[in-house]
Amino acid sequence: MPRKKLLYIGILWLFLLLFGGTAGYMFIESASFLDALFMTVITITTIGYSEHVPLSEKGRIFTIFLALGGAGYFFYVLALISEFIVSQTVENLWGKKMEKEIANLRNHCILCGFGRIGKNIYEFIKTEIPVVVVEKHPEVIKELQGKKILFVEGDATLEETLIKAGIERAKALIAALGEDAENVYITITARNLNSNLYILSRADNPKVEKKLYQVGADKVVSPYIIGARKMALALLKPNVMDFLEVASPELKLSLQMEEVIVSPKSFLAGKTLAQSKIRDLTEAIILAIKRADGTMIFNPSPSTVIEEYDILIALGEKDKLDTLDKLAKGKLSL
């Protein structure tokens, strides 16, 4: 149960003890309001004064239950205080541990915003790259603490917040807040702090997309447009949609699409697709090649030469794509 509700229960309990005890003594023993209140307070606090109001048999029975209720109340308060101290200690220990982990991170991703879209992004990428969430809403912070997710509490548009998240050492940043203006500010701030950072930004308004590119975003995505395209594709070309779903990485199926960068150390550099024997070694299909200058070659022919820093977009089984990645990085050769 939330701590605030437990506190409300404690306040209500105390009020009922005071009100019920005072009313009880006034009704049973015909005591005045002040005498009844005084008798109630010394009973529930177990002070132990002599009976300020002479008690009848009914009055003594009432006092017994009132005293038990008072003792129970103070045990309840003691439990609340103990729980608060323990939880604060645990939170402080976790906070210090988390700060150390964030300080040691390299090539991680900073996710700004943990709303509906941010949560899904986190679930998709958390196994592939370390993630630090930047969030300012207290209720979301509690959720992050409960799930032991690395986070920085603060405004993602401020430099000091992004610096705490390790932006100088980060590989990527995702601006996934619900306000386009905030995503623009985050992009500007992030780009000024790290010129090599890959910035992916959300834009709900298509008119904001151009501005985000102008201020430094590498890629801008509109969740509503993407959702609309997928729904339209599911209606007009359901088989194509089924194929894309099968090859979607988040589904964790054997058939996936992947992109790998060709290192200068790789034996693939300088060879044609036919000479590389990628198909024989990995059974992967090269769907496209993106050159270092941004040129995209779709459905490359066997005579297409693989160059250094090319990005190979491949379709295949997950374990075979891992082999292709090792070949591209030069960690494996013929």
Which amino acid, residue 64? I
* 317: DSSP letter: E
pLDDT of residue 255: 74
- Kind and range of the H or E element at 201? strand 198-202
pLDDT in tens, 188-201: 999 999 999 999 99
pLDDT of residue 41: 80
What CATH code would you report for 106-227? 3.40.50.720
Is residue 49 predicted with pLDDT exceeding 90? no
pTM of this structure: 0.64
pLDDT of residue 51: 65
- How does residue 226 score in pLDDT terms, banded at 50, 70 and 90? confident
pLDDT in tens, 230-261: 899 888 888 877 777 665 655 555 678 889 99
pLDDT of residue 211: 94
Q: Where are the domains of the chain?
A: 3-98, 106-227, 254-329
Which strand ranges, in their side-by-side order, compose the sheet holding 198-202? 151-153, 131-135, 109-112, 172-175, 198-202, 219-221
Whether the CB-CB separation of 144 and 114 falls below 8 Å is answered with yes
Q: Which CATH number fits domain 3-98: 3.40.190.10, 3.30.70.120, 1.10.287.70, 1.10.10.10?
A: 1.10.287.70
Q: What are phi and psi of 177, to 5 degrees?
A: -75, 160
pLDDT in tens, 81-112: 777 777 766 666 666 788 889 999 999 999 99
pLDDT of residue 73: 78
Of 237, 186, 178, 180, residue with least CA distance to 215: 186
Q: Say which CATH class 254-329 falls into.
A: alpha beta
pLDDT of residue 253: 54
Of 19, 49, 57, residue with least CA distance to 37: 19
Least confident of 12-21, 32-41, 42-51, 193-202: 42-51
pLDDT of residue 217: 95
Phi-psi region of 307 (alpha: psi -120 to 50; beta: other; left: phi over 0): beta
Tokens matching residue 30: 């015909």
pLDDT in tens, 148-183: 899 999 999 999 999 999 999 999 999 999 999 999
Is residue 50 predicted with pLDDT exceeding 70? no
Share of the chain above pLDDT 70, in %: 91
107-132 mean pLDDT? 94
pLDDT of residue 53: 72
Is residue 208 predicted with pLDDT exceeding 80? yes
